[in-house]
Amino acid sequence: MTLKSKTALITGSTSGIGLAIARALAAEGCDVAINGLGDAADIEKERAGIAADFGVKAIYAAADMTKPAEIAAMIAQTERELGSLDILVNNAGIQFVSPVEEFPIDKWDAIIAINMSAAFHAMRAAVPGMKQRGWGRIISTGSAHSLVASPFKAAYVAAKHGVAGLTKTVALEVATHGVTVNLISPGYVWTPLVEKQIPDTMKARNLTREQVINDVLLTAQPTHEFVKPEEVAALVVFLCSDAAKQITGANLSMDGGWTAA
């Protein structure tokens, strides 16, 4: 399979799952736009590395995912600089752990904006071009928390449930236009996002770091293993293939059996 001549935008792709997805799509010949936070030199290193390693065009789009106008401008930039936008991966996400009665309002607003509303704004801007070209793939990074809840994660769980509903709705709207819309819902993936929430969970539950990893995170996954970013990326690549053209509106679990119970 090759995605040569296709273009992709992956939000939240300067590290972790998003970067793995960007590199996997580039390995299939896809030109890519990366987006996310971080040190400018580090971001440029990753962008240049993708271009050099895979012989594709790679650009950086510095949109703030809390700002709808910047998200729309990022879609337009990708179409302008890469020629089209064929694959949209909504991956940007943040997390905060706190009991609901202590949950900071600004944290709630930011998580809803970045984890859920940003996916809507990106889809809204990307769908017209995909419909016009008669081909598109929209894939969002969900979570086992799009299907089940955990305590102290009110905003994150709400946002991921919201993206699941958004995925189904948009999939139905574009079903006759050659565009598929799907959600990949991993369990715990060892990324900077997961690592950073460990101290908050230690505080919220009065546990040690080891207890959080083994008794809170991995206890939910029957395999007792973290999902690898490269495994999520491989599923994204498959969903972009012609073999997956009848998979749309789906929420695909990749959680070591977490939500099987």
Q: What is the pTM of this model?
A: 0.94
The CATH superfamily assigned to 7-189+227-260 is: NAD(P)-binding Rossmann-like Domain (3.40.50.720)
What average pLDDT does the segment 145-150 reach? 96
188 carries an active-site annotation: no
Looking at residue 1, its pLDDT comes to 60
Q: Which percentage of the chain shows pLDDT scores above 90?
A: 91
Secondary structure of residue 246 in the 3-state scheme: coil
Residue 244 structure tokens: 């997956």
Domain boundaries, the chain: 7-189+227-260
Kindly report, residue by residue over 170-227, the tens digit of the pLDDT: 999 999 999 999 999 999 998 877 788 799 889 989 999 999 999 888 988 999 999 9
Please name which of 95, 140, 143, 145 lies closest in space to residue 121, comparing C-alpha atoms: 140
Are residues 137 and 84 in contact, defined by beta-carbon separation less than 8 angstroms? no
Q: What is the mean pLDDT of the chain?
A: 96
pLDDT one-digit tens code per residue, 131-141: 999 999 999 99
Which residue in the list 54, 96, 108, 156 is annotated as catalytic? 156
